[in-house]
Structure formats: structure tokens, C-alpha cells
A and B are shown apart, each in its own frame.
Chain A
Amino acid sequence: MKNFLKEIPEQVTRIVFLLIVFIAAFLFIRSNLVPEDFGKTGHYRFSAIDEIISVDIKYAGQDVCNECHDDIVVVKDSSYHHNVTCEVCHGAAAIHADDPVEFTPTAPRERNICPQCHEYLPSRPTGFPQIISASHNPLKPCITCHNPHDPVPPETPKECSACHKEISSTKSISHHALIPCTKCHSVPEKHRLDPREYLPTKPGSREFCGQCHSEDADSEPGIPRIDLETHETKYVCWQCHYPHLPEAK
């Protein structure tokens, strides 16, 4: 054994010694710095859950609001804002639920609150009511015309762009800018009041676009034309071409 140890080169003993020191230091540091309950139920400190539970609750939740303000909640729940809980606008209200007299939640009346959701943004979904606040009844607080608990517009929208802002903005810079929406979509009257129940139509045949774009169409010169008999006959036009921003020049 003694001879065998002597055979080990000096370099190896030094490196191995260093390695042992390094591993020992690592294990020592690790045992001191890694919390004992780390990894018990996942890649986190288990006691962190209790710490988070013990943090004061700020939000009461709509069910608690409903206990006293059921008249308002009923109205809101059948309105377009049924997915927006009370505390989205009124702020965290757990403290109010605990002591309704001492603490009253805020009721926003300024004009800058509603545009957080309703200001025009191209990435908002089609049909979501959007306004450009700079030009939409400037200086008037939203609540003078809209009841936030049942936010139907005071007047039925006359223009499609009132709800379909993105499409109308896109169309306004396209070659189809001057074509009214109703040229291609027939819109039931009830769509204005119940847009998701009564949907407008879409052109269902190739001949519809062909009225302007087929080779023999009686339309202005300069409009791109195709041969309806041979041009991608298996598809309706809008399956490839976006009619609100047609790409052909």
C-alpha cells in the first residue's frame, strides 16, 4: 500500500487534494445556504408557500361584493362587462369588506380609466369596442354617457367603424377604401344591438369579387383582373386575398 501511494505522481495528489477541498467547500456552502425545505415539492423553498399565504389579502373577490351590492352585480353580470370583476375598476376592496364604514373603495370617474381597455390598439380583437379618446367627445368623462355596470352605447352605432375600428383603419388605406362595408356584407339590423348573435354575411362565391375583377367585368380600367375560369378555381377569393387590404396593385 505504501509503495502504491509513493507511485502516485506528485501532481495528482495536489490536484486531488485541491478537488477534495473544493468539493468540501462546495458541500459546506451548499448545506449552509440552501434552505432545508428546498425541493420538497418542487424547485422552490417549501416554506415560501406559507409565507405567501400569510401575506395580507388585498382583493375581496366578486362573491363578497355580491353579498351587499347584489343589485349592481346582477346588472353587471348580464352586461358586456360580465367578465370584468368589481375590483378591476374599484380597486382592491378586502379592507372595505372588513370594515365598510371606515374604508370606502374608489369609484373612478376620470376620463383616463376606460381607455386603458378601450383606446384603439391594432392588436385588440376585432369587434372589441375601441375609441380614439382624443377625438371621442373630448373632456367629457366616460360615465356621462356610459353606465359602466351596463356599458351599452347611448346611441346605437351608426358606423361599422365604431366597433370594427381595426378593419376600418386597415381598409381606409387600402385600394378598397371607397367601397362601403355593406357592398360585401349584408348586415342584419339586429347585429347593431346583439352583434354576436346576428352575424353579417361574407361573400360566398367567386363571382361576387368577379363583378369587378373578372376579365369581362364592367368596371373601371386599372383594376386588377383575373380569369375566373382558370384562377385557383377551388377557392373563394378571400381565402387567399384579404379584402380589407388586398395586396394586388
Chain B
Amino acid sequence: MEEIVQHLAPLLREISGYIYPNEIELHWGLLVVIYPYLTGLVAGAFILASLVKVFNVKELQPTYRMALLTALAFLIIAPLPLLAHLGHPEKSYEIFLTPNKSSAMAMFGFVYAWYLMAVLLLEIWFDYRRDLILWSKSEKGIKKWLHKILSLFSSDVSEKAVKFDKKAVRIITIIGIPSAFLLHGYVGFIFGSVKANPFWSSVLMPIVFLFSAIVSGIALILTFYVVITPLRKKEIDMPCLDKLASYLFYVMIVDFSLEALDFIHRVYESEESIQILSELVSGKLFVSLVVIQILIGMLIPLAAIALVKILKWPAQLRIQIYFLASILVQVGIFSTRWNVVIGGQLFSKSFMGLTVYKMSFFGLEGLLVSLTIMILPIVILSLLFKLLPPWDENRNPDIVK
């Protein structure tokens, strides 16, 4: 008891207005912010990859495999923040063994498993199969065997088989697009279906989440492409980068319009919660929502990319501006997740007061664990780059088009 009081006492000083006793401390912290951010990156990166295969956007070919591997690396880590947040990760397998159909959260395990196994791993396998066989033939030692096992001891590299691979990749991508929508739409659904919380409860939530996911995914691939290509001492493919930036721009416009629509809808509906929400947005969330999410994360990058397109600046300047814009977009989308998850818990259900979120550094819910979880996908991705090089020069020549 004494411990709880000591823990809550500093929070109590920062509370304004009237709140219920169980609202002083937030139940969903930084880890729950990271979770939709990571799944968003997965869905976004996959949608970008699908542009190449389904919509035949040839310019984006150099980023296709990178986008797939990025989606995989982030997908592997995506459930970790949830497991850390819930505690007892050793019991998590039970949601698969005894599926509870009436729990949206429990069903996520299946959405995740479907997306990981039926979509991402399968698509990567079909896309890499021929290369895996050819690599294993020219390699020695562990790598040879690793590639052999990964190819599932497949050996057929005939034209017919490769044609089948391509067809399979296309079909999986077509199935993958609704799956990616489901994966991230689901995250929006979880928040959007919380009836008691007027900040979350909105049918637009899954759609807004989805488009912000695509924005963050494209921005991430753009960042990776701009950083990794010079590190590999290669030339950046400008048509590819321009196309990436264009798609980023278009999706951001849609995302911005959807968020504006949501905002206008709330203001026009003007439900009983509007007063406390406007107090929240103009007070505790002003910096993270108005300044970071909308201004720095949305309007400035939009204006920057628009300027680049209109003024047709030289390549080097374009690269720098695209890079900066993509970083700002990442910060903005992270802020979006923060504002939804943390912001949605800052106001009292009495609509009469606001509480405060204090982040800890150590502990399972702390900043340190969160940073580790954020860095892990990059570590996994660098390992994947070693194991399954996505670069064009590693491909067998006749696959490259």
C-alpha cells in the first residue's frame, strides 16, 4: 500500500481537474506505442514491395527484396513489445492452442501467424529459391548448407520452375495485400473498438492506422535505401528514389486527408467529450500532436517533397531532402502512435480532468527495453542482408529485368 502511494504521489501533483482513482496511472505505456509502430512498418514495407509485383512499378525493383526483408525483420520483433508488456511470455503459445474466437486480441496471434508464414516467408522463399540454389552451388561450408536448407533442398532451376516461382510470388502478393491490410487494420480495430474511449472509438481508426502504416513503411525503405546504397559504394538509382518519394507524397496526402476528415468529423459531431479532447490537444498533446505529428511529421516533409518535384533540383540535393523528409515522417508517425496510445489515456472518463504519463528508464515497461526492441529489427535485418543479399548484383543475371 505504502509503495503504491509513494509511486502515485508524484503523479498526483501533475493531475489537473477531476479524474477517477484508477486513471492516475496509465495502463498502456511506451511498449504499446512501439507495437503499432512496428506492425505499421511491416505492413507499409510489404505494400511497397507489392507495388513492384502486382502493380508492376518497375522503377521500385531495386527496393523490392529489401522491402520484403525489412517487413520480415520487423514482423519477427513486432509481438515482442506485447509479450514484454503482458508479462508471462512463456504462456503466449496458449493463444494458439486454445483459440478464443471472441477475443480480438487473442485472434491477433492467428493474423500474425498467417501473415508471417502464409505471406511473407512464402513470398521470400519463392522469390529467393532460384538464387538460393545457385548460391549453394557456388559456396562452401556453413553458408552452402544454410542456403541449401533454406531452399528446402530444392534443385529445379529450369525455366518452367522459375516461371512458376514468379507466378507464385504474384499470387502470394495479391493475397498478401489484404493480409497486410488485415494485420495493421487489426491494430487500428483494437483501438477503434474501445467504445468507452471517445478518443479511440472511431470506425475510421483502422483506415487511418493503415495509411499511416503505409506512409511509415515507404519512408523507412527510403531511409534504408539512401543509407545503405552509399555504404555498399553503389550509385543511388534516382528514378527509383524519385518514385519512392512520389509514392510517399501521395500516400501522405491520403493519410493527411483521412486524419483531417476524422478531426472535422469529431469537431462537427461535438460530442460531450469534445471539450476535454480539445483541452488535451491544445495542452498536454500540443507538442507531440500539433508540432511533431502534423507540422514536423506531415506538413514540412510534404512541402519539401512538393518543392523538390516542382523545382526539379539536382540529384544530390534531392537525395538529401528526401532523406530528411523520410526521417521527419518516421518521427511524425511514431508521434502519431504516441498520441493515439498515450493521448487516449490522458483524459478522465469523467471528461473533467487530465492525468500525466511518466516514463521509466529501467524495468520491463521502461525506455531501455523499448529502445532495445526498436534496435532489434535492424540487427535482424543486417543478419538477413548477410544471409539473403537483396542486391541486384547478387542475383542471377537472367532474373534481373
Interface residues of A (CB under 8 A from B): 9-11, 14-15, 18, 22, 26, 29-30, 33-34, 38-39, 43, 121-123
**Interface stretch (choices B139-147, B149-157, B217-225, B392-400):** B149-157
**Separation of A66 and B117 alpha carbons in the complex (Å):** 63
Asked if residues A10 and B161 are in contact (CB atoms below 8 Å), the reply is yes
For chain B, residues 110 to 160, give those with C-beta under 8 angstroms from any C-beta of chain A. Answer: 117, 122, 125-126, 129, 152-156, 160
**Separation of A156 and B154 alpha carbons in the complex (Å):** 91
**Separation of A33 and B47 alpha carbons in the complex (Å):** 37
B97 interface hit (Cβ, 8 Å): yes
Partner of A38, one of B18, B98, B122, B154: B98
Offer 17 A-B interface pairs, CB within 8 angstroms, sorted by A.
A9-B161, A10-B161, A11-B129, A11-B154, A11-B161, A11-B164, A14-B152, A15-B125, A15-B152, A18-B152, A22-B117, A30-B97, A34-B98, A39-B98, A43-B100, A121-B21, A122-B18
* Residues in chain B near residue A38, CB distance under 8 A: 98
Asked if residues A10 and B18 are in contact (CB atoms below 8 Å), the reply is no
Taking residues whose C-beta sits less than 8 angstroms from the other chain, chain B's interface range is 20 to 34
The closest CB in chain A to the CB of B99 belongs to A43
The closest CB in chain B to the CB of A45 belongs to B98
Asked if residues B161 and A15 are in contact (CB atoms below 8 Å), the reply is no
Asked if residues A10 and B154 are in contact (CB atoms below 8 Å), the reply is yes
Asked if residues B161 and A29 are in contact (CB atoms below 8 Å), the reply is no
Asked if residues B156 and A43 are in contact (CB atoms below 8 Å), the reply is no
Asked if residues A9 and B164 are in contact (CB atoms below 8 Å), the reply is yes
**Separation of A231 and B83 alpha carbons in the complex (Å):** 57
B165 interface hit (Cβ, 8 Å): yes
B168 interface hit (Cβ, 8 Å): yes
The closest CB in chain A to the CB of B129 belongs to A11
The closest CB in chain A to the CB of B157 belongs to A10
B263 interface hit (Cβ, 8 Å): no
The closest CB in chain B to the CB of A112 belongs to B1
**Separation of A34 and B94 alpha carbons in the complex (Å):** 8
B361 interface hit (Cβ, 8 Å): no
Asked if residues B97 and A10 are in contact (CB atoms below 8 Å), the reply is no
Asked if residues A10 and B98 are in contact (CB atoms below 8 Å), the reply is no
Given contacts A34-B97, A39-B98, A43-B100, contact A11 B21 (CB under 8 A): no
* Residues in chain A near residue B155, CB distance under 8 A: 10
**Separation of A170 and B129 alpha carbons in the complex (Å):** 72
* Residues in chain B near residue A10, CB distance under 8 A: 154-156, 161
**Separation of A78 and B93 alpha carbons in the complex (Å):** 53
Q: A14-B153, A123-B20 provided; 6 other pairs, C-beta below 8 A?
A: A11-B126, A11-B154, A11-B156, A14-B152, A43-B98, A123-B21
* Residues in chain A near residue B93, CB distance under 8 A: 33
* Residues in chain A near residue B160, CB distance under 8 A: 9
The closest CB in chain B to the CB of A29 belongs to B97
Asked if residues A11 and B100 are in contact (CB atoms below 8 Å), the reply is no
For chain B, residues 202 to 259, give those with C-beta under 8 angstroms from any C-beta of chain A. Answer: none
- Say how far B233's CB is from chain A's closest CB, in angstroms: 35
* Residues in chain B near residue A121, CB distance under 8 A: 21
- Say how far B257's CB is from chain A's closest CB, in angstroms: 36
Binary CB contact string for chain B from 160 to 199 against chain A (1 if under 8 A, 0 otherwise)? 1100110010000000000000000000000000000000
Asked if residues A14 and B21 are in contact (CB atoms below 8 Å), the reply is no
* Residues in chain B near residue A11, CB distance under 8 A: 126, 129, 154, 156, 161, 164-165, 168
**Separation of A33 and B92 alpha carbons in the complex (Å):** 13
**Separation of A123 and B153 alpha carbons in the complex (Å):** 67
**Separation of A39 and B161 alpha carbons in the complex (Å):** 46
Asked if residues A9 and B156 are in contact (CB atoms below 8 Å), the reply is yes
- Say how far B242's CB is from chain A's closest CB, in angstroms: 35
- Of the candidates A33, A39, A122, the one having the most CB atoms from chain B within 10 angstroms of its own CB is A122
**Separation of A51 and B246 alpha carbons in the complex (Å):** 63
- Say how far A140's CB is from chain B's closest CB, in angstroms: 22
* Residues in chain A near residue B165, CB distance under 8 A: 11
* Residues in chain A near residue B154, CB distance under 8 A: 10-11, 14
- Say how far A20's CB is from chain B's closest CB, in angstroms: 13
Task: In the A-B complex, list the 3 residue pairs whose CB atoms are closest, starting with the nearest.
Answer: A14-B152, A10-B156, A9-B164
- Say how far B57's CB is from chain A's closest CB, in angstroms: 26
- Say how far A225's CB is from chain B's closest CB, in angstroms: 25
- Say how far B112's CB is from chain A's closest CB, in angstroms: 15
The closest CB in chain B to the CB of A15 belongs to B122
* Residues in chain A near residue B20, CB distance under 8 A: 123
**Separation of A18 and B126 alpha carbons in the complex (Å):** 14
The closest CB in chain B to the CB of A33 belongs to B97
**Separation of A43 and B154 alpha carbons in the complex (Å):** 43
* Residues in chain A near residue B97, CB distance under 8 A: 29-30, 33-34
**Separation of A39 and B156 alpha carbons in the complex (Å):** 47
**Separation of A53 and B168 alpha carbons in the complex (Å):** 56
Binary CB contact string for chain B from 324 to 356 against chain A (1 if under 8 A, 0 otherwise)? 000000000000000000000000000000000
- Say how far B297's CB is from chain A's closest CB, in angstroms: 36
- Of the candidates B97, B126, B156, B164, the one having the most CB atoms from chain A within 10 angstroms of its own CB is B97
- Say how far B51's CB is from chain A's closest CB, in angstroms: 24
- Say how far B20's CB is from chain A's closest CB, in angstroms: 6
